[in-house]
Amino acid sequence: MNSPNLSDFFNPNNPNRGGFDPDDFLNKNKIKLAVILVLIFILPNIVVLVGAGQRAVIFNRVTGMQQRVLEEGIQFVVPLLQQAVIYNVREISYIFSDDDSAERSRNTSAKILGNSIDTLTADGQGISVDVTVRARPDFKELWWLHKELGQDTYKSSYVYKVINPTVRSIVREVIAGYTVSAIYSEDRRVIAEKISKTIETKLSEYKVVLTEFLLDKVTFSDAYQNAIEEKQKARIELDTKDNIIIEKQNERDAIITRAEGEAKAIQLKVNALNRFGSSYVKFKKAQILGKRAKLVIDNDL
């Protein structure tokens, strides 16, 4: 028996050839295959999935940045022409503090934006301020942020280009308007509200919304703290002395009042003697002697 000719077997014109024919399959399905390949290529560039707490901006390769923002959900863009960039727009707490920064960062969703804010008061005293800022980008103006500030690959640009320098600058500016004694004694809410309003106005220029500002802690220099403690001790001692003086004055006033009362009583008796003479004396004897008063009075007569 002769073995088959291999070249004849792979020849598409060989009538004895059986099985799958690639050329025939491609000829019959080339349109379908072309559509599938096109879909595989452009589908990821058509559909944009914007997750919860996110927004997306659109850059048009022909006309440039588009002034619109894509909401949460499935969105569609023109492939090759439009490019979507997704942003996280949730509120985030930004902490400026030296205290346990790593631990606080692990236990909360907050971000640590450097150390406490060191600044000078109006009278040249150095203090350290800890603050917390809650902020988010303005949803409707997200396209402006992307256009003007750009986007880093692993950091939010507006945080490090706007929030960080703005908060530090304004805290220093406001604190510089108060003396250290005013900051120590004055209601902290007044200072915190002034800082908050100034930060809110400034961040709005960069399309960032301030949702909350907290003045966490103000740390004074050791020299000032010692001076305050000495002042408090001196005030306590002075208050104690004042209390003693007041107590002595009250005792003196009580003695004077009693003496004045006794002198008034004596004067009343003297006046009575001068006015009624012997009759008053007999009356007093009657009060003292009781039943024997009549005998004594009769003897006097």
The H or E element containing residue 213 is strand 208-220
Q: How many residues does the chain have?
A: 301
33 contacts: CB under 8 Å, gap ≥ 6: 26
Cα angle for residues 202, 164, 156 (degrees, 5° grid): 100
Give the separation between CA 152 and CA 154, rounded to whole angstroms: 6
CA distances, 276 to each of 128, 273, 285 (Å) = 85, 5, 14
Q: Of 47-51, 92-96, 201-205, 223-227, which gets the smallest average pLDDT?
A: 223-227
Report, as an integer, the average pLDDT of 195-223. Answer: 91
Q: Of 16-20, 53-57, 82-86, 250-254, which gets the smallest average pLDDT?
A: 16-20
Residue 283: pLDDT band (50, 70, 90) is low
pLDDT single digits (tens) 233-252: 656 666 666 677 787 787 77
CA distances, 62 to each of 52, 57, 66, 148, 286 (Å) = 30, 15, 11, 18, 128
Give the separation between CA 213 and CA 135, rounded to whole angstroms: 9
Residue 241: what pLDDT? 63
pLDDT of 300 > 90? The answer is no
Homologous superfamily (CATH) for 92-220: Band 7 domain (3.30.479.30)
Give the separation between CA 216 and CA 134, rounded to whole angstroms: 13
Burial of 40 (0-12, 13-18, 19+ CB in 10 A): exposed
Residue 214: what pLDDT? 93
CA proximity to 271, closest of 259, 280, 262: 280
Residue 157: what pLDDT? 73
Q: Provide the 10 A C-beta neighbour count for residue 284.
A: 13
Alpha-helical (H) ranges within the chain are: 6-9, 22-46, 101-107, 142-149, 157-158, 164-175, 180-185, 188-204, 222-276, 278-289, 293-300
Residue 204: pLDDT band (50, 70, 90) is very high
Concatenated DSSP letters of 107-169: HSS-EE-SS-EEEE-TTS-EEEEEEEEEEEE-GGGHHHHHHHH---SSS-HHIIIIIHHHHHH
- Residue spans of the domains in the chain: they are 31-88, 92-220, 232-290
Q: Is residue 103 within 8 Å of 81, Cβ to Cβ? A: no
pLDDT single digits (tens) 223-237: 666 656 566 665 666
pLDDT single digits (tens) 23-75: 666 666 777 767 676 666 666 668 888 999 899 999 998 999 999 999 999 88
Span between the terminal Cα atoms of the chain, in Å: 189
CA distances, 119 to each of 19, 65, 126, 182 (Å) = 85, 40, 6, 15
Give the separation between CA 102 and CA 174, rounded to whole angstroms: 28
Residue 151: what pLDDT? 72
pLDDT single digits (tens) 114-165: 789 999 999 888 899 999 999 999 999 999 988 888 776 555 677 888 899 9
